[in-house]
Amino acid sequence: MAETSNPDRMAVTAQDIVRVCGRIDDTKLIAIMEVKPSLEELEEAAAWLADEGDPLREMKRPLSGKAAAIFEILEPELGERKDREPR
């Protein structure tokens, strides 16, 4: 089953990552691209990093799969940044 058959589930591009996360280290950008997440998975991880995911945590819905992998890649960098606007 190929993920690319559904346009909503296509892997994100580097431009998508920068738009959602702001400028990040190239090695982290490449690591995220290697995960081949959908835009939804990328946005879910970014929401958790921005603490917008707290209601999900309270409902005991942990991050899993590709969103969790992205969270682990970005947590040290984005978890401490307040300004994630693309430049």
Reduced 3-state DSSP string for the chain: CCHHHCHHHCECCHHHHHHHHCCCCHHHHHHHHHHCCEHHHHHHHHHHHCCCCHHHHHCCCCCCHHHHHHHHHHHHHHCCCCCCCCC
- The pLDDT value given to residue 2: 45
Higher pLDDT pick, 10 / 64: 64
How many other C-beta atoms lie within 10 A of the C-beta of residue 1? 4
- Asked if 9 and 36 count as a contact pair (C-beta separation under 8 A), the reply is no
More confidently predicted of 34 and 5: 34
Query: Which residue is associated with the tokens 């738009």?
Result: 19
pTM, to two decimals: 0.69
**Average pLDDT over every residue of 46-55:** 72
Residue 43 has pLDDT above 60, yes or no: yes
**pLDDT of 58 above 70:** no
